[in-house]
A and B are shown apart, each in its own frame.
Chain A
């Protein structure tokens, strides 16, 4: 234990010896400051509500939200008589059947809609509440596959795209829906798709069905993930981006900027810096002394490997921790999930560093380690993209691909570390922690999220093999 700690400390010294680490920390802090300069102000309800009530608000997760697959009903929601109150709004919500048939939005299908359009139209809003309350009807798997090429990939993945038909209520069932149930449904829609709390919701009597009016009071719009916000960058020095749902702004910053570009740059620079650790250790004149100490060669190498990981751990703790802190303080959204990016990034680096270690032990050259590791990183990235395409193709059947290509991609995926998977998993974390519940669920439907077990397990096995080979070589060598 004392030896382990000593080697960690030694690696730490080595890491902070050069100016590069200070440059990196400086850049991280700069990023933190820039992101800290961004403020998010909730838009006025008059502007925000129409946006918030569009699009996803119409989707329904049956069984009171217990069903993860959405369905839809042609219902339209309008806010009128909007009144801004502190951190909230009061308004009248008008509900009625959707006037003109909306086409496929964003390529997201609502194929059931047409089915529902019958001559003697049932009450759409009541149907929606019914569909929400009751368990989902029949499942439709891979609707795209039926429309386009009959996907060869169909049936190979557990996470097939799944849309459910709504439960259809008979006239008596619809009649039996109470005002309280309608209120509960709307409350659910507001929390799920806008992320605000409904303080009060009462149905106005005397409105002829199928139209409905509700007096609604909502609160908690600042920090509400689905509420449109104005985003001010650089302390408001540049004109703001208006009408962006808070969740999407946060998602963009956290996933695309920090977890995407930031992480990639951090990984690459860390690969370069840490690539010198093991060749330095193995340098003639240095290694003899170390292996004459009462420590096993395996211990020495493995501890040094872990020492290299502390480097990125420190770096990502500073940057991710800082980013999280300033963004939470600025947006009021304190969910800690984003912090999970720290261990995931460290783990991703662990994969790369095991390759670097192996090359270093065989060649004792930092340059070779850097080149091979960066090359490996690129290959994993490309492979990850290919794999994503294949996965999407299984769901959406974009194009027809030969059977063997699936086999090839799947078997490579079995042995290669799950670099892309780890990235997807962090994306999922970010999505879950920034977007409204409804949006997060929708994103989940279109992405085949890998399992943590698989992503971590295969990667760990890969790391173990790399380290075992490195140790084997290190033990065998005659200095």
Chain B
């Protein structure tokens, strides 16, 4: 069963088209990552799923129910981006408040709140006012409140935002553990390295359009690309290599290196042989392993920056003024 499914989902805010027909499907038990630049529409997708904003067109289902249905929301934990918890709460009382909104019984809250806060590592400060928390602690609290009611699906919008590297690793481990316990996780991020480490599947959103989707392996699949360099003073025989049926292009910024790509069935050996035959010395040979970042950059290369650059109110004004974009 899929926990999230959208078909040709569209959302426009006034004149801004934030989602232009997005279809994704997230299976139960997965950690699914949604990638994209700022303004790509990732947060909008989540908000549509949770009924925070209304979709303009298309279909969106959450846990088999239409997006926004209260009974589906009950089984979802959500960490919003840029969240601001009321400062008058303590970590404990906030969890208690949210737990009650989810209908978690009193005894269970009493038992689970310290447990959950322990899990995210802020149990020691749970009786201090939130306004005394650091950004990282607030983020951990945010994750904790999304876990308290033992949801089937956990939706995290930029979960590692504002957390130090060590904390990030802890959060990644936490997600892994949650997955093992059978929770499905859907996360938004622009931190590709991170996503690569934990996600089973990813989708890349670009200006409201889904441009790639698949497992990490699918996206980072090797096509066989090598960086080759010969000894200084010698010129790499690019033309001869091309004649052999390879592509050879200079690596940008490193004029002494060439990138040689193989096609189906080819190996790099004939190229090495050619170099030796020409009496040159091979000094550099590296197989270029594609990271998710490469894959991502390859996808978005040449594309305009995110929709985010369209003229609108400066971002800071939204946060400080406490008012929304409209």
Q: Which A residues fall within an 8 A CB radius of B?
A: 2-3, 5-7, 9-10, 13-14, 17, 279-280, 283-286, 288-296, 364-365, 477-479
Q: Complex: how many Å from CA A458 to CA B5?
A: 49
Chain A, Cβ-Cβ closest to B131: A17
CB distance from B251 to the nearest CB of A (A): 44
Tell me, yes or no, whether B82 is within 8 Å of chain A by CB.
yes
Chain B, Cβ-Cβ closest to A18: B88
Q: Which residues of A contact B102 (CB under 8 A)?
A: 293-294
Partner of A288, one of B52, B96, B318, B322: B52
Contact A6 to B52, CB < 8 A, known contacts A284-B323, A286-B83 = no
Q: Which residues of A contact B53 (CB under 8 A)?
A: 478-479
Q: Is the CB of A2 within 8 A of B103?
A: yes
Chain A, Cβ-Cβ closest to B79: A289
Partner of B47, one of A17, A285, A288: A288
Chain A, Cβ-Cβ closest to B99: A6
Q: Is the CB of B323 within 8 A of A364?
A: yes
> Using an 8 Å CB-CB cutoff, how does the interface string of B41-60 with A read, 1 for contact, 0 for none?
00000010011111000000
For B80, B82, B83, B85, which residue has the most chain A Cβ atoms within 10 angstroms?
B80
Chain A, Cβ-Cβ closest to B54: A478
Contact A292 to B76, CB < 8 A, known contacts A284-B319, A285-B82, A364-B324 = yes
Q: Is the CB of A289 within 8 A of B97?
A: no
For A2, A10, A284, A292, which residue has the most chain B Cβ atoms within 10 angstroms?
A292
* Chain B, interface SS category: loop
13 A-B interface contacts by CB (under 8 A):
A6-B101, A13-B86, A13-B89, A283-B84, A284-B323, A285-B84, A289-B98, A292-B50, A293-B98, A294-B70, A294-B71, A295-B70, A479-B53
Q: Which residues of B contact A296 (CB under 8 A)?
A: 70
Given contacts A284-B84, A286-B84, A365-B323, 15 further A-B contacts (CB under 8 A): A2-B100, A3-B100, A6-B96, A9-B97, A13-B88, A14-B88, A280-B86, A283-B322, A284-B323, A286-B83, A289-B80, A289-B98, A292-B50, A292-B76, A478-B53
B68-121 CB contacts (< 8 Å) to partner A: 70-71, 73-74, 76, 78, 80, 82-89, 93, 96-98, 100-103
Chain B, Cβ-Cβ closest to A281: B86
Q: Is the CB of B324 within 8 A of A284?
A: yes
Q: Is the CB of B101 within 8 A of A295?
A: yes
Chain B, Cβ-Cβ closest to A283: B322
Q: Is the CB of A478 within 8 A of B13?
A: yes
B287-326 CB contacts (< 8 Å) to partner A: 318-319, 322-324, 326
6 closest A-B pairs (Cβ-Cβ)? A6-B100, A17-B88, A285-B84, A294-B74, A293-B101, A283-B322
Q: Which residues of B contact A293 (CB under 8 A)?
A: 73, 98, 101-102
Q: Is the CB of B73 within 8 A of A286?
A: no
Q: Complex: how many Å from CA A479 to CA B324?
A: 7
Q: Which residues of A contact B86 (CB under 8 A)?
A: 10, 13-14, 280, 286
Q: Is the CB of B323 within 8 A of A292?
A: no
Q: Which residues of A contact B326 (CB under 8 A)?
A: 477-478
Q: Which residues of B contact A5 (CB under 8 A)?
A: 100
Q: Complex: how many Å from CA A17 to CA B50?
A: 31
Q: Is the CB of A289 within 8 A of B76?
A: no
Q: Complex: how many Å from CA A478 to CA B87?
A: 25
Q: Which residues of A contact B82 (CB under 8 A)?
A: 284-285
Q: Is the CB of B88 within 8 A of A285?
A: no
Q: Complex: how many Å from CA A478 to CA B76?
A: 20
Chain B, Cβ-Cβ closest to A290: B101
Q: Complex: how many Å from CA A294 to CA B77?
A: 11
Q: Is the CB of A292 within 8 A of B319?
A: no
Q: Which residues of A contact B87 (CB under 8 A)?
A: 17
Q: Complex: how many Å from CA A65 to CA B247?
A: 115
Chain B, Cβ-Cβ closest to A293: B101
Q: Complex: how many Å from CA A3 to CA B324?
A: 26
Q: Complex: how many Å from CA A13 to CA B318?
A: 26
Q: Which residues of B contact A292 (CB under 8 A)?
A: 50-52, 73, 76, 78, 80
Q: Complex: how many Å from CA A386 to CA B47?
A: 51
Q: Which residues of A contact B319 (CB under 8 A)?
A: 284-285
Q: Complex: how many Å from CA A292 to CA B74?
A: 9
Q: Which residues of A contact B52 (CB under 8 A)?
A: 288, 291-292, 479
Q: Which residues of A contact B103 (CB under 8 A)?
A: 2-3, 294
Q: Complex: how many Å from CA A7 to CA B93?
A: 12
Q: Complex: how many Å from CA A479 to CA B319?
A: 13
Q: Complex: how many Å from CA A283 to CA B323?
A: 6
Q: Which residues of B contact A7 (CB under 8 A)?
A: 101
Q: Which residues of A contact B51 (CB under 8 A)?
A: 291-292
Q: Is the CB of B322 within 8 A of A284?
A: yes
Q: Complex: how many Å from CA A125 to CA B78?
A: 85
Q: Complex: how many Å from CA A280 to CA B322?
A: 8
Q: Complex: how many Å from CA A21 to CA B21?
A: 51
Q: Complex: how many Å from CA A7 to CA B324?
A: 23
Q: Which residues of A contact B73 (CB under 8 A)?
A: 292-294
CB distance from B73 to the nearest CB of A (A): 5
Chain A, Cβ-Cβ closest to B106: A2
Q: Is the CB of A288 within 8 A of B80?
A: yes
Q: Complex: how many Å from CA A295 to CA B13?
A: 24
Q: Which residues of B contact A365 (CB under 8 A)?
A: 323
Q: Which residues of A contact B54 (CB under 8 A)?
A: 478
Q: Which residues of A contact B70 (CB under 8 A)?
A: 294-296
For A14, A289, A290, which residue has the most chain B Cβ atoms within 10 angstroms?
A289
Q: Which residues of B contact A10 (CB under 8 A)?
A: 86, 89, 97
Q: Is the CB of A286 within 8 A of B323?
A: no
